Amino acid sequence: MAYTLADLSREEAWLPFEPTSRQPFDRRMAAHLYRRAGFAASTQELDEAVKVGPRVAVQKLLSAESTSGAFDEEMQKFAKLTLAANNPELLTGWWLHRMRHTPAPLLEKMTLFWHGHFATSAAKVRDPKLMFQQNELLRKHALGKFEPLVLGMARDPAMLLYLDSATNRKNHPNENFAREVMELFCLGVGNYSEQDIQQLARCFTGWEVQHGAFVFNAYQHDTGVKKVLGSAGQFDGDDGVRVILRQPAAATFVCTKLVRFFVGDEPEVPAEWTEPLAQCYRDHGLTVGPVLETIFNSRLFYSAASIGCKVRSPVELGVGLLRALDASANMVQLSGRLRELGQMPFYPPNVKGWDGGRTWIDSSALLGRAKLVRTIVESPETRFGGVSLEEYLDAQGLKSNAAIVDWLSELLVAVPLASDVRLQLIERLDRSEKSRPLALKQLLHVLGSLPEFQLA
**Cis peptide bond N-terminal to 267, omega within 30:** yes
Q: What does the pLDDT read at residue 271? A: 86
Average pLDDT over residues 206-223: 95
Does the pLDDT value for residue 167 go beyond 90?
A: no
Cα→Cα distances 147→4, 186, 209, 244, 298, Å: 35, 10, 21, 10, 26
- Mean predicted confidence (pLDDT) in 53-58: 98
- Predicted confidence at residue 265, as pLDDT, reads 85
Mean pLDDT of 103-126: 97
Do residues 360 and 314 lie in contact, with contact meaning Cβ atoms separated by under 8 Å? yes
Predicted model pTM:
0.96
Band (2; pLDDT cuts 50, 70, 90): low
- Write out pLDDT tens, residues 353-362: 999 999 999 8
Question: Is the per-residue pLDDT at 446 higher than 60?
Answer: yes
pLDDT of residue 181: 97
Mean pLDDT confidence for 151-176: 93
Mean pLDDT, range 3-18, rounded to an integer: 85
- The domain ranges of the chain are 1-144+247-456
Round the average pLDDT of the chain to a whole number and report it: 95
pLDDT of residue 7 exceeding 80, the answer is no
DSSP class of 210: E
Inter-residue contact 213 to 220 (CB < 8 Å): no
In this prediction, residue 375 carries a pLDDT of: 93
Q: Quick one: what percent of the chain has pLDDT higher than 90? A: 89
**What is the DSSP track for 237-264?**
HHHHHHHHHTSHHHHHHHHHHHHHHHT-
pLDDT band at 215 (very low <50, low <70, confident <90, very high): very high
Residue 1 pLDDT > 60, yes or no?
no
pLDDT for the residue 266 = 76
Query: Could you tell me if 120 and 134 are in contact, meaning their C-beta atoms sit under 8 angstroms apart?
Result: yes
Each residue's pLDDT tens digit, 173-192 = 999 999 999 999 999 999 99
Which residues fall within 8 angstroms of residue 92, CB to CB, at 6 or more apart? 331, 335, 338, 344, 345, 346, 347
Tell me which H or E stretch contains 227: strand 226-228
Q: pLDDT of 392-406, one tens digit each?
A: 999 999 999 999 999
Q: Is 259 left (phi over 0), alpha (psi -120 to 50) or beta?
A: alpha
pLDDT digits (tens, 9 = 90+) for 405-436: 999 999 999 999 999 999 999 999 999 888 99
**Closest by Cα among 38, 26, 1, 25 to 292:** 38
The C-alpha atoms of residue 448 and residue 312 are separated, in whole angstroms, by 12
Mean pLDDT, to the nearest integer, of 141-165? Answer: 96
DSSP character at residue 453: G
